[in-house]
Amino acid sequence: MYIGVDVGGTFTDIAVNRDDGSSLILYKLPSTPDAPEQAIIHGLQQILTDNDLSANKVTRLAHGTTVGTNALIQRKCGKVALVTSEGFRDLLEIGRQTRPTVYDMHRDYPQPLVDRSLRHEVPQRRLADGSSHVTLDREAVIRTAATLASQNVDCVVVCFLHSYAYPQDEDETAAILKDNLPAHVTVLTSSSVYPEFREYERFSTAVLNAALITIIGSYLDRLTSRVSDLGIGPEVKISQSSGGLMSVRMARRFPVRASLSGPAAGVQGALRRAQAAGYRNIITLDVGGTSADVSLLLDGQPVEVNERDLAGFPIRIPALDVNAVGAGGGSIAWIATDGLLKVGPQSAGAHPGPACYGAGGESATVTDANVLLGRLNDQVLLGGRMPIRKDLAHSAVESLAGPLNVSIDEAALGIVKVACATMVKAIRSVSVERGHDPRDFALFVYGGAGALHAIDVARDLGITNVIVPPSPGILCAEGAMNAALSTEFVSTTLNRLAPGQLSDMRQACIELDAKAQSWFNDEKVPERQQIRRWAFGVRYIGQNYEISLPVDVTLDDAALIESVSTAFHRAHEANYGFASKTEPIQIVNVALKAMGDLDRPELPLLPAGMPPEPVEHRSTMFSQDCREKTPVFDRDSLVSGQLLHGPAIVEQMDTTVLIFPDDTCRVDDWGNLVITLAE
């Protein structure tokens, strides 16, 4: 069996695929934010018991998590100290001196994770050419260690200038600190986390990694221990922000790489499902309980970035380009001081959750609105395991309808439309704002609430095809289950792209390839499953930022120069609207993504048969003052090739699919619902 687990802010999702690919077992249960492993273990126990399965048959258990992200947002992380070059104590606080939002004079960057009293300087300074301008003062490092020991820190991160290329001083300082600090204190260097130039981003990434080491390490210890107690033998694999998997020991060393793993796993799941169904250009929309995550896949490949923000801090790691906004099923509707209706970013979360859950929530949420509109089942969810209180949803939305001077139906419809408008804005940021026309893409929706809002969002964007996979609410877990093992290596080179000037780049490739081979050996990846993907960071000389381009490093110098320059001019024009073929080009860094193409089961096909009758009819509001008697179908009863004509609702354990009047839906061979919007 192959198992994927995704822990979200509201629900924990589990997908199990037997090795013959014949069927998927799906399970969804409320998350336990204070101890995320409890929901995971309870869900696994329930699946094994209900399906009479043996834990020793598990081949792989992959896990995407938001534990790190939530810890940083809530500042519930380890106590971190910083040791840096003399004169650079305040670099973390100075940053880039650019405002988060240009026109908001009241919003500023969050306070640094390392208090100034915990930032220590030692005499040391290397120049950009590697020469020692100020020799490392080892006695000063020993004195600093004594101070750190008295400050009861959990982790110390060493950050020196130019250590991305010359890490000797960082390594020596770390060794001295380890010898002079208590054994429980972790010491790491910025060059070991992600060795790239731009000191502020490198320092910030190293500090974020240090802040997460204690809490993620503790969580993984609890999780792996309890998984082992179940009788599951293989080591748990952790999903990364880049979409691949890593071992638990890598996650303990580099927890920052898993900080955005949940959304990335969803993109991987969407990629595999879309490719199997024959779609290569898609926009993904993942609507969960707390947020909506969107991304764009062009010609069958997701867009990758090397720099993101995490809890307001810059983070320099490879990640899939996923844009998140606070619009989910649990997003709270409220009236601002201007008297207008707003939705999110505050969320009711797993506890107490939307009012209709009957767990103590009183605020109106998007889920409550959908219950009142008849779009969502007003009796039970999760296959009958979660009772719904329509009366509580009515009371919550009514508290907004009065001040807005509208009917309850109007207020509920307004909540949904405001939430959808936020999702549309997020999709525009990854499509229109980057030169892509959404009408050229299909909208691939998943997450527990994605299919409820897909048609509204698609229609606003001019998209005509919407794809809903067989298990949209569990797709992030499925994506983690089917992902490849991967890691990234990078080296800063600063080479001009010209004949006779590529020696440093070639040497960097040799060193990175050796690191990748060592990683393949450590992870026991067979040679037939080893994949290497090379990329250069390229810019015109004098520019501040580079464009990442895939490259074939086996080409000779002349062919490589021609290939990279042609691709760079094309990419620069696409990104910035112009290209200057007379300007000299610079290779900023060389990156190698090493992947272990793990065995994975086939996706099950949906059999044909007699189309089922609806299980009931429900009064559903699709537009203002217009309710329609809408047939409701059970997703498990649908057959390949079946056509549904809107209005219709398709219910399943992990989501509800809404098909508007005049739209049509076809069930394809893979079990996807392909909805075509009417003119």
**Alpha carbon 597 to its chain's center:** 20
Cα–Cα distance between 32 and 42 in angstroms, integer? Answer: 10
Over residues 374-410, the pLDDT tens digits come to: 999 988 887 777 899 999 999 999 999 999 999 999 9
At the fourth CATH level, the homologous superfamily of domain 2-72+217-261 is ATPase, nucleotide binding domain (3.30.420.40)
Question: Is 90 exceeded by the pLDDT of residue 593?
Answer: yes
- Predicted local distance difference test score (pLDDT) of residue 404: 92
| Nearby residues of 265 by Cβ (< 8 Å), 6 or more positions away | 4, 6, 62, 64, 239, 243, 476, 477, 479, 480, 483
Q: Is the dihedral of CA 495, 497, 500, 502 positive or negative?
A: positive
Query: Could you give the percent of the chain with pLDDT greater than 90?
Result: 55
Question: In the CATH scheme, what is the code of domain 485-596?
Answer: 3.30.1490
Residue 19: predicted pLDDT: 66
pLDDT of residue 556: 93
DSSP-derived 3-state class of residue 669: coil
pLDDT in tens, 168-208: 999 999 999 999 999 999 999 999 998 888 888 999 999 99
Mean pLDDT score, 442-447: 94
- 445, 467 contact by CB (below 8 A): yes
> What pLDDT does residue 138 have?
95
The Cβ-side half-sphere exposure at 57, using a 13 Å CA radius, reads 11
Q: How confident is the model at residue 320 (pLDDT cuts 50, 70, 90)?
A: confident
Number of other CB atoms surrounding residue 137 within 10 Å: 15
Confidence of residue 100 (pLDDT cuts 50, 70, 90): low
At 462 the three-state DSSP class reads coil
Q: Walk across the sheet containing 80-85 and list its strands.
A: 119-122, 80-85, 155-159, 186-189
Return the domain boundaries, the chain. Answer: 2-72+217-261, 78-212, 262-326+419-481, 331-418, 485-596, 616-664
Can you tell me the mean pLDDT for 261-266?
83
Q: Decide if pLDDT at 674 tops 80.
A: yes
Backbone angles phi, psi at 311, to 5 degrees: 55, 30
Inform me whether the pLDDT recorded for 469 exceeds 90: yes
262-326+419-481 fold: Nucleotidyltransferase; domain 5 (3.30.420)
Question: Largest Cα–Cα distance of the chain, in whole Å?
Answer: 81
Q: How sure is the predictor about 595, in pLDDT bands with cuts at 50, 70 and 90?
A: very high
**Are the folds of 2-72+217-261 and 262-326+419-481 the same?**
yes
Taking only Cα atoms into account, the Rg of the chain, rounded to an integer number of angstroms, comes to 26
- The architecture CATH gives domain 78-212: 3-Layer(aba) Sandwich (3.40)
Q: Parallel, antiparallel, or unpaired: how do β-strands 245-247 and 237-239 relate?
A: antiparallel
pLDDT tops 90 at residue 72: no
pTM of the model: 0.84
Of the candidates 209, 203, 190, the one whose C-alpha atom is nearest the C-alpha of residue 72 is: 209
Closest CA to 423 of 525, 308, 294: 294
pLDDT, tens digit (0-9, with 9 covering 90-100), for 133-149? 999 999 999 999 999 99
* CA distance from start to end of the chain: 44
Give 69's pLDDT tier (boundaries 50, 70, 90).
confident
**Cβ–Cβ under 8 Å, residues 303 and 296:** yes
Pairing assessment for the beta strands 80-85 and 119-122 based on DSSP bridges:
parallel
